[in-house]
Amino acid sequence: MADEAPLLRLTKVSREFPDANGGAALAVLRDISVDFSRGESVAIIGPSGSGKSTLLNIIGTLDQPTSGTVNFEGQELATLNEDEQALLRNREMGFIFQSHHLLPQCTVTENVLVPALARNAPTTGTEQRARQLLNRVGLGERLTHRPGQLSGGERQRVAVVRALINRPKLLLADEPTGSLDRASAENLGQLLVDLNQEEEITLITVTHSVELAGRMGRTLELKDGQFL
């Protein structure tokens, strides 16, 4: 039986940024080719400035490669217009950043349901999923709290649930434990691993944390715009 096609395939992806003074362009990524399988967990590590976040942004259609192709479920992302890319991000991808980006005036439940609002008014099923996931991450008693009433670790767990609410196939995490204390970082790292398995979601996380990278099924090291 043929191997299952990867969820995500990057082929010779490069990204250059023009020099403001008209000099040579800065090459941040150079001919990146890599596959990501369905349901796997991957850490991307490397020194600051090596292109990790740029790569994650290209995968998430928040940036475009200078050359090369990115295919998601066989669809070349560059062939989609802006509205189609936004729809893909909302339905098929979840994002977690170092800062939680929660809306301070909204409750925990309302924050989680924000991505669902982009599709339609949240359904009873969506609201039930929000409650179930919040219970799963230990926030069942915080549903009506606002971000200012939560700890840093709790706020980041809300961000994780928000990223999962639309049942995405791909979860992209950019330094998700970077702003947390050690205990909270360890708890969040284990939570990401557990949810990766329970939700059968592909997890790609950019991190400086050796501990978090060690929890992932595979680690890729980026240096000078290329995988070692």
Q: What whole-number percentage of the chain has pLDDT above 70?
A: 97
CATH of the domain at 63: 3.40.50.300
pLDDT digit string (tens) for 58-85? 999 999 999 999 999 999 999 999 999 9
Please check whether residue 2 lies inside any domain of the structure: no
The mean pLDDT of 168-181, rounded to a whole number, is: 92
User: How confident is the model at residue 2, as a pLDDT?
Assistant: 45
Domain count, the chain: 1
Range of the domain at 203: 8-227
Please check whether residue 25 lies inside any domain of the structure: yes
User: How confident is the model at residue 20, as a pLDDT?
Assistant: 81
pLDDT digit string (tens) for 7-65? 999 999 999 998 888 788 889 999 999 999 999 999 999 998 889 999 999 999 999 99
Please check whether residue 3 lies inside any domain of the structure: no
The residues that bridge with 44 in the sheet, in sequence order, are 206, 220
- What are the strands, taking DSSP E only, across the chain? 8-17, 26-36, 41-45, 67-72, 75-76, 93-96, 170-174, 202-206, 218-223, 226-227
pLDDT digit string (tens) for 90-111? 999 999 988 888 999 999 999 9
CA distance readout (Å), 131 to 148, 158, 179: 20, 11, 25
